[in-house]
């Protein structure tokens, strides 16, 4: 067993004398981003328990923002301290990598989460009370007089008298903030995980809060809960595959650390663990195990054919959560995927590359084609996110530093566009809450030119039109793929982009060139929170589109994995 892989011997090898468990060596400073966020999440729980209700909203909001900002500052500090390059190493007894890709992705996740907190905290869009017998007078004295997008009383059965009462009373809850922080904590570990067990635990740490968040929609609670249950069931299902894959890989290599497995893959097993003598070095275990772990990650990124949950969950979840999930989960999951493929399995790339090519093609085409016939804006964006996962996979399979940097850049660019787009979706409302049916968006550009124009910018970025970040990202990814010899993958990618452009542009046409409907939705005026979120999204989209070079260079510097 390699020396770095000792902590996990706790699980796998009968320990020596009881009570002599060695204290692990933890580099707290290097892990500070994760620790800050998780610590803040715990404090958030305490706030829920101890702080009076009327103070909770502001304290939770402040705590979340401060924690995320502090964690981001810590990431910057680590990067400035050289941990992204020369001092990169694997911390926490070989469990968590501190290197360029990890820091870049953590920084992205933290920024995205920071913006997500703005949209989570939005309280001016929903009227305090809705449905029958709602009385606006009740809203007096509450924070900003309105409520947020989350269920008034999540524990109440949808449609029950208790729920109606809670809605009428205009209840709000603030648990979403610590739940969000827990999810962010898991996401920070996920792309940095350097052994398979840490990977799995990080996966669960961010998945469980997400399942919860999905169930918390204020309106259409049945749809929301259905989404959460589906996500949970399928997530559990895929986790099982992943775990099974982890077991097979352990059987193959006798270790769960990435470095250890990589060594066995390239050089063969040096020491045969007596307990695993029958399985070590068996390539069938390696291949099947690798495929199953990959599948678990492909599920999280929403790649075809493991994408089925995406549209249902994106549609049912509260829109701020959808935006957060679509952006941050994708960043974290692609980070983990990159590390797995580039650190653990590079010796195996002649086996997984063709398979991943297939997955990338299916994902690009599948997402783009099915999106054409969607009639709901959130489902449309869900399929768009599937197509984008395909474009990202095209960069992933490049197996080069350019591939890594292009994916890093793309993830950053894409998350801001996605967050912004979903934030705009929260603004377009009618009596039933958000008006997500596409037909209702007809003529939006005539009524609210600014909001429609902003959404059009996001759509153009999704479509990859030059001068938006989407173009720069797509160009980088396709370039990396082409240089790696997968020219035809790029051809498929460009064709898929063409198909995708159709439905993005269709929405623009719908907004600007169709007559508004008489009973169409109105655009709510948000608080500065959502406005800020959207403004940051637009700014990032345009800056990354007009002057991408600095960020491409940054991603290029951050593209080397520590092994």
Tell me how far, at minimum, the Cβ of 31 lies from another protein, in Å.
Answer: 33
Task: Tally the C-alpha atoms within 13 A of residue 76's C-alpha that lie toward its C-beta.
Answer: 8
Tell me how far, at minimum, the Cβ of 229 lies from another protein, in Å.
Answer: 7
How far apart, in whole angstroms, are the C-alpha atoms of residue 38 and residue 398?
34
Pick 3 or 268: Cβ nearer another protein: 268
Q: Residue 511: CB partners within 8 Å, gap ≥ 6? A: 441, 442, 443, 444, 445, 452, 455, 456
For another protein, the binding residues in 218-247 under the rule CB under 8 A are 229-230, 233-234, 237-238, 241
Tell me how far, at minimum, the Cβ of 250 lies from another protein, in Å.
Answer: 17
Pick 208 or 355: Cβ nearer another protein: 355
CB 407 within 8 A of CB 467: no
Q: What SS3 string covers 326-359?
A: HHHHHHHHHHHHHHHHHHHCHHHHHHHHHHHHHH
For another protein, the binding residues in 373-402 under the rule CB under 8 A are 373
Residues belonging to the chain: 563
Pick 184 or 508: Cβ nearer another protein: 508
For another protein, the binding residues in 336-355 under the rule CB under 8 A are 350-352, 354-355
Pick 117 or 361: Cβ nearer another protein: 361
Torsion angles phi and psi, residue 428, rounded to 5: -85, 110
Tell me how far, at minimum, the Cβ of 359 lies from another protein, in Å.
Answer: 7
Tell me how far, at minimum, the Cβ of 295 lies from another protein, in Å.
Answer: 5
How many residues form the binding site for another protein (CB under 8 A)? Answer: 40
In what side-by-side order are the strands of the sheet with 522-523? 433-434, 428-430, 522-523
428 membership: H or E segment, kind and range: strand 428-430
Tell me: does residue 312 bind another protein (CB under 8 A).
Answer: yes
Nearest Cα to Cα of residue 429 among 222, 140, 218? 218
Nearest Cα to Cα of residue 293 among 205, 391, 195? 195
Tell me how far, at minimum, the Cβ of 87 lies from another protein, in Å.
Answer: 36
Tell me how far, at minimum, the Cβ of 3 lies from another protein, in Å.
Answer: 31
List the one residue from 58, 502, 513, 550 that touches another protein (CB under 8 A): 502
Tell me how far, at minimum, the Cβ of 157 lies from another protein, in Å.
Answer: 20
User: What string marks each residue from 102 to 131 as x (binds another protein by CB under 8 A) or -?
Assistant: ------------------------------
Q: What angle do CA 326, 392, 500 make, to 5 degrees?
A: 75
User: What string marks each residue from 284 to 303 as x (binds another protein by CB under 8 A) or -?
Assistant: x--xx-xxx-xx--xx----
Tell me: does residue 214 bind another protein (CB under 8 A).
Answer: no
Tell me: does residue 476 bind another protein (CB under 8 A).
Answer: no
How far apart, in whole angstroms, are the C-alpha atoms of residue 269 and residue 165?
65
Which residue in the block uniquely carries the two structure tokens 């715990």?
42
Pick 159 or 358: Cβ nearer another protein: 358
CB 116 within 8 A of CB 327: yes
Ordered alpha helix ranges (H), 190-255: 196-214, 221-253
Nearest Cα to Cα of residue 467 among 543, 545, 410? 545
Tell me how far, at minimum, the Cβ of 125 lies from another protein, in Å.
Answer: 28
> How is residue 472 written in tokens?
């720069």
Pick 309 or 458: Cβ nearer another protein: 309
Pick 169 or 499: Cβ nearer another protein: 499
How far apart, in whole angstroms, are the C-alpha atoms of residue 339 and residue 457?
32
Q: Which residues bind another protein (CB under 8 A)?
A: 229-230, 233-234, 237-238, 241, 283-284, 287-288, 290-292, 294-295, 298-299, 304-306, 308-309, 311-312, 350-352, 354-355, 358-359, 366, 369-373, 499, 502
């Amino acid at each position: 067993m390699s020396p770095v892989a000792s902590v996990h011997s706790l699980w796998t090898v009968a320990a020596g004398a009881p009570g002599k468990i060695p204290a692990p060596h933890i580099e707290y400073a290097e892990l500070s981003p994760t620790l800050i966020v998780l610590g803040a999440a715990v404090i958030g729980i305490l706030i829920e328990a101890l702080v009076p209700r009327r103070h909770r909203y502001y304290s939770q909001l402040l705590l979340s923002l401060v924690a995320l900002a502090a964690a981001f500052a810590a990431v910057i500090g680590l990067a400035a301290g050289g941990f992204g390059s020369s001092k990169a190493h694997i911390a926490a007894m070989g469990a968590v990598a501190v290197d360029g890709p990890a820091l870049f992705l953590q920084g992205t996740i933290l920024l995205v989460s920071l913006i997500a907190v703005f949209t989570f905290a939005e309280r001016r869009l929903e009227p305090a009370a809705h449905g029958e017998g709602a009385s606006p007078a009740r809203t007096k004295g509450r924070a900003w007089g309105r409520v947020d997008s989350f269920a008034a009383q999540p524990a109440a059965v949808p449609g029950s008298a208790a729920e109606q009462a809670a809605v009428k009373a205009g209840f709000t809850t603030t648990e979403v903030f610590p739940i969000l922080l827990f999810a962010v904590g898991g996401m920070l570990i996920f792309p940095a995980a350097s052994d398979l067990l840490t990977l799995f635990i990080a996966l669960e740490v961010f998945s469980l809060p997400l399942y919860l968040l999905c169930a918390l929609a204020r309106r259409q609670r049945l749809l929301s809960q259905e989404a959460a249950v589906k996500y949970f069931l399928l997530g559990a299902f895929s986790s099982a595959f992943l775990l099974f894959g982890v077991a097979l890989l352990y059987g193959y290599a006798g270790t769960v650390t990435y470095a250890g497995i990589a060594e066995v893959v390239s050089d063969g097993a040096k020491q045969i663990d007596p307990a695993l003598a029958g399985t070590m070095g068996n390539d069938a275990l390696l291949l099947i195990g690798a495929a199953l772990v990959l599948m678990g990650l492909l599920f999280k990124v929403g790649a075809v054919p493991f994408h089925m949950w995406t549209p249902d969950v994106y549609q049912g979840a509260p829109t701020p959560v959808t935006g957060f999930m679509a952006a941050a989960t994708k960043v974290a999951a692609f980070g983990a995927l990159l590390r797995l493929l580039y650190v653990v399995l590079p010796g195996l790339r002649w086996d997984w590359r063709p398979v991943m090519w297939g997955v990338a093609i299916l994902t690009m085409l599948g997402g783009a084609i099915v999106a054409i016939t969607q009639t709901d804006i959130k489902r449309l964006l869900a399929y768009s996110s599937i197509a984008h996962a395909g474009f990202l996979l095209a960069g992933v399979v490049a197996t080069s530093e350019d591939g890594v940097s292009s994916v890093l850049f793309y993830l950053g660019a894409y998350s801001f566009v996605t967050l912004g787009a979903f934030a705009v979706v929260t603004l377009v409302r009618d009596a039933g809450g958000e008006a997500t049916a596409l037909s209702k968006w007809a003529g939006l550009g005539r009524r609210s030119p600014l909001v429609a124009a902003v959404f059009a910018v996001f759509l153009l970025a999704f479509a990859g039109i030059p001068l938006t970040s989407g173009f720069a990202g797509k160009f980088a990814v396709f370039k990396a793929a082409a240089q790696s010899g997968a020219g035809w993958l790029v051809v498929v990618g460009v064709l898929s982009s063409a198909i995708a452009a159709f439905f993005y542009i269709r929405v623009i046409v719908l907004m600007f060139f169709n007559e508004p409907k008489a009973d169409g939705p109105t655009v709510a005026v948000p608080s500065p929170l959502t406005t800020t979120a959207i403004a940051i999204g637009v700014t990032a989209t345009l800056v990354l589109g007009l002057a991408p070079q600095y960020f491409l260079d940054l991603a290029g510097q951050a593209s080397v994995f520590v092994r």
